[in-house]
C-alpha cells in the first residue's frame, strides 16, 4: 500500500506486487492470427455500438429487463474478446448477496455479471473512461475513491442500501489486482455492508487459463498499465478462458464481525471451493 500526506490530508491506496514481469514471454504466449484479432476488434465495437443507446434507456425499463440487458451486454463483451467462461451453474436466487472474489483483471466484474444480475463496486477512475465509464455508471456501478478514506463510509452505506433493496453487489476486497490467486488478502471494510444489510457473502475464485489449462497472465491488469494496453493483450491471446469456483455461502449470523467474514471468505477463495464445474456459454 502507499500513503502520502499533503496539507494534513492522508491518502492511502492498496498497491499490487505484480508488474509487467508477470506476463509470459511472447514466444510462449499463444497469439491468434491478425485476422482473428481484427474480427475481435470489430465485434467489440459492434457490442458497444448497440450497448450505448440501450444503456440510456435502462433507467426507464423495469428492473428485471434492466438486469437481463446488463448481463447480456457482459456476455457480449466476453464473446467479442474470445474469452470462454467455465463456471458453476448459478445457484437458485434466494435473495441478494455480497459476491466477493480475488481480483486479477478489469474483466472480473464482467465475468460475474455475465453469470447473474448484480451491481459492481469499481474504482472511481473507471467512471472517467471513454464509453465504458458511462456504460458502467448507467449499469448501477458503485464507484469508490480508493485514495480518500473519508469517502469509505459513504461507499459502504451505498452498498448496504443496494443490498437492502434486493440487489446483489460484487466487490473485490483486495482493493487492487494481482496476477495470480496466491497471496490473496481480503480487506474487511466492504463486508460491513453485508452485515448491516443482513445478507450472506458468496466467495468466488477466478482463474484465467491458457489453452493448455495452465494459469495465464494475459488478462491480468498489471502495475501502472492502462486499459487499452491490457485490452490489446487480451485481443491477441489465444485460447483464453476464465474459470470460476464458488465457495460455501457465509451467513451473517455465523460470524462475529466483518473481520471474520473476510477471513472465512478468503479461506474459501484460497481453498478453491467446490467441485469441477460445467462450461457456461457466454453467447449463442
Mean of the per-residue pLDDT values of the chain = 82
**Which cell numbers hold the place of 101?**
472474489
12 lies in a domain? no
Q: Is residue 15 part of a domain?
A: no
DSSP code string of 83-107: -EEE-PPPPP--S--EEEE----TT
Smallest CA-to-CA distance from 193 within 136, 246, 149, 153 is with 153
pLDDT in tens, 209-260: 999 888 888 888 876 778 888 899 999 999 999 999 898 999 999 999 999 9
CATH of residue 34:
3.40.1130
Is the Cα dihedral 224, 226, 229, 230 positive or negative? positive
CB 194, CB 167: distance < 8 Å: no
Does 118 reside within a domain?
yes
Residue 5 lies in a domain: no
- Tally of domains in the chain: 1
Domain annotation covers residue 3: no
Are 269 and 102 in contact by the 8 Å Cβ rule? The answer is: yes
Q: What is the pLDDT of residue 181?
A: 55
Task: For 139-197, write each residue's pLDDT tens digit.
Answer: 889 988 877 778 889 999 999 999 999 999 999 998 777 766 556 788 999 999 999 99
d(C-alpha 263, C-alpha 5), whole Å: 30
* pLDDT computed for residue 279 by the predictor: 40
CB 136 within 8 A of CB 269: no
Q: Is the dihedral of CA 144, 148, 153, 154 positive or negative?
A: negative
d(CA 95, CA 168): 8
Residue among 97, 98, 111 at smallest CA distance from 186: 98
Residue 59 falls within a domain, yes or no?
Answer: yes
pLDDT band at 89 (very low <50, low <70, confident <90, very high): low
> Based on the number of CB atoms within 10 Å of its own CB, is 200 exposed (0-12), middle (13-18) or buried (19 or more)?
buried
Alpha-carbon distance of 234 to 83, in angstroms, equals 9
- What is the span of the domain harbouring residue 176? 28-280
| DSSP 8-state symbol, 147 | T
pLDDT at 12 over 80: no
Counting Cα atoms < 13 Å in the Cβ hemisphere of 244 gives 27
The pLDDT tens digits of the residues spanning 105-135 come to: 889 999 999 989 999 998 877 877 777 777 8
Contact 247, 204 (CB under 8 A): yes
| CB contact at 8 A, 118 and 147 | no
Is residue 175 in a domain?
A: yes
User: Does 4 fall in a domain?
Assistant: no
Amino acid at each position: 500500500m502507499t500513503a502520502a500526506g499533503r496539507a494534513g490530508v492522508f491518502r492511502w491506496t492498496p498497491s499490487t506486487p505484480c508488474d509487467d514481469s508477470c506476463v509470459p514471454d511472447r514466444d510462449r504466449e499463444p497469439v491468434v492470427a491478425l485476422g482473428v484479432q481484427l474480427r475481435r476488434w470489430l465485434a467489440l465495437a459492434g457490442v458497444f455500438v448497440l450497448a450505448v443507446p440501450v444503456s440510456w434507456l435502462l433507467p426507464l425499463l423495469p428492473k428485471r429487463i434492466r438486469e437481463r440487458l446488463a448481463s447480456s451486454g457482459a456476455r457480449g463483451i466476453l464473446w467479442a474478446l474470445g474469452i470462454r467462461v467455465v463456471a458453476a451453474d448459478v445457484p437458485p436466487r434466494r435473495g441478494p448477496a455480497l459476491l466477493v472474489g480475488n481480483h486479477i483483471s478489469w474483466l472480473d466484474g464482467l465475468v460475474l455479471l455475465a453469470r447473474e444480475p448484480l451491481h459492481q463496486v469499481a474504482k472511481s477512475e473507471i467512471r472517467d473512461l471513454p464509453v465504458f465509464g458511462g456504460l458502467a455508471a448507467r449499469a448501477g456501478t458503485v464507484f469508490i475513491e480508493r485514495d480518500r478514506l473519508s469517502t469509505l463510509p459513504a461507499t459502504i452505506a451505498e452498498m448496504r442500501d443496494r443490498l437492502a433493496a434486493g440487489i446483489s453487489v460484487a466487490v473485490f476486497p483486495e482493493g487492487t489486482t494481482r496476477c495470480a490467486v496466491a497471496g490473496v488478502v481480503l480487506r474487511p471494510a466492504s463486508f460491513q455492508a453485508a452485515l448491516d444489510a443482513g445478507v450472506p457473502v458468496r466467495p468466488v475464485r477466478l482463474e484465467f487459463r491458457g489453452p493448455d489449462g495452465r494459469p495465464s497472465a494475459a488478462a491480468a491488469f498489471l502495475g501502472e498499465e492502462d486499459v487499452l494496453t491490457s485490452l490489446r493483450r487480451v485481443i491477441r491471446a489465444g485460447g483464453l478462458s476464465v474459470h470460476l469456483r464458488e465457495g460455501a455461502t457465509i451467513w451473517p449470523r455465523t460470524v462475529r464481525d466483518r473481520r471474520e467474514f473476510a477471513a472465512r471468505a478468503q479461506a474459501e477463495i484460497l481453498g478453491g471451493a467446490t467441485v469441477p464445474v460445467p462450461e457456461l456459454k457466454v453467447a449463442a
